[in-house]
Amino acid sequence: MNRRYIVGLWLLVGWLAGCTTVPKISVTSLEQENILKDICLRFHVDWQWDSLAQVITLSFHDHRAALLVGSDVVLIDKEKIVLSAPIQSVNSVMMVPADFRSKVIDRLVYQPKLAIASVPTLLKIVVIDAGHGGKDPGAIGKTGVQEKQINLDIARRVKSILAQHQVKVIMTRDKDEFISLQDRTEIASRSKADLFVSIHANASSARSLFGLEVYCSKELDYTDRHEEQRLLNRREMKDRLAIWPNDPYADDIIFDLLDANKWGTCDPFADQVAESMSDYLKTKNLGGKRARFFVLRNTLIPAILVEVGFLTNPKEERLLKTSHYRQKIAYGLVKSILMYGKQQYE
């Protein structure tokens, strides 16, 4: 590596960090640390260490990261990332803090490669629904991980990525709180959103069952169409639209058209999401399915419910507990959402 480049990089990282001399981490704190070499091997990241300049470079495909030993700053493709503690050399072993994987490896390895991001899309607003929350934990894995935590973390990641592609996201919940099913559908009805996506983790009495499945609503019968919550949501939506005829018959016609659009788009969309995401995640495709879930039948806009994996399956539970896998789920879901927007435009 060019010596002038190394010196320049060292000075740049030092300037961003504010100083290049920091207290050393004590050996007793190493239980909170990770070995950089092991992490790189696990995620197939190439790494080089210039012992003279004390600069470590990581590379994964076209992405690069620069680390300075003794600093808490990392540069990823010129983006400045600040870690919770400095990178240290302990007995010639490079140690990184506990947040290194989520802040550096996730960005490096799971950078969004969404070529469709630059194409026209009709999507302006998407409602992201993190299932369960508060007093309702949802499914609970054998190790104690709760579905509500998994759902919320993935939802936040989806929101962050969609924001990068100029799509506004409305969250039904953005913290660990209980939101009723009725309130979730009302949020969708008054939001003027184009799409509703509910995120869940699955459970089954058969621990061997694994994979991803996506639900859309069954077509409504007379009882469903006159369900109290659905009629309330119709009034919510009507009150927020600028132009609406003052004719009760026209109301029915317009909502029939909305229903027809929903059934015509959601079924193939659910199939597409299931196929695309399962292929991306290298997991079993359990397919697109129809169900009478409350949040699906009582939303008036196109809506799907994604079951990202089974907490009752030991392997998938371990995966879902990792930051990098939840990030990968978020990228896969965003790619499908953006493709949906592209298809609506064409």
- Show Cβ contacts of residue 106 under 8 Å, excluding neighbours closer than 6 positions: 323, 324, 327
**Confidence (pLDDT) at 77:** 78
Q: Residues 224, 230: contact at Cβ < 8 Å?
A: yes
- Show Cβ contacts of residue 203 under 8 Å, excluding neighbours closer than 6 positions: 139, 147, 310, 311, 312
Give the DSSP letter of residue 146. Answer: B
Segment (H or E) for 19: none
Cα gap 60→62, rounded to integer Å = 6
Cα gap 101→85, rounded to integer Å = 13
**Confidence (pLDDT) at 263:** 56
**Confidence (pLDDT) at 144:** 94
- Show Cβ contacts of residue 237 under 8 Å, excluding neighbours closer than 6 positions: 189, 190, 300
Domain ranges of the chain: 3-98, 115-345
Q: Alpha helix locations (H) across the chain?
A: 3-17, 36-42, 100, 106-109, 147-164, 181-190, 222-225, 228-239, 248-281, 294-297, 314-320, 323-345
Cα gap 204→186, rounded to integer Å = 30
> HSE (CB half, 13 Å, CA atoms) of 116?
17
How confident is the prediction along the chain (346 residues), in pLDDT tens digits per residue?
Answer: 455 544 455 445 454 444 434 344 343 333 345 899 999 888 888 888 888 888 999 987 667 899 999 999 999 877 888 999 999 988 888 999 988 988 898 888 766 555 545 555 678 899 999 999 999 999 999 999 999 999 999 999 999 888 888 899 999 999 999 999 999 999 988 888 889 999 999 999 999 999 999 999 877 666 766 677 776 766 666 665 555 556 565 555 555 555 555 556 788 899 999 999 999 999 999 999 999 899 998 888 899 999 999 999 999 999 999 887 898 899 899 999 998 888 765 5
Q: In what order do the strands lie in the sheet with 93-96?
A: 34-35, 93-96, 88-90
Top-level CATH class of 115-345?
alpha beta
CATH number listed for the domain at residues 3-98 = 3.30.457.10
**Confidence (pLDDT) at 6:** 46
Q: What is the pTM of this model?
A: 0.67
pLDDT digits (tens, 9 = 90+) for 9-29: 544 545 444 443 434 434 333
- Residue 259's region, left for phi above 0, alpha for psi from -120 to 50, else beta, is alpha
CA neighbor of 113 nearest in space, from 62, 167, 169, 40: 62
Cα gap 346→57, rounded to integer Å = 43
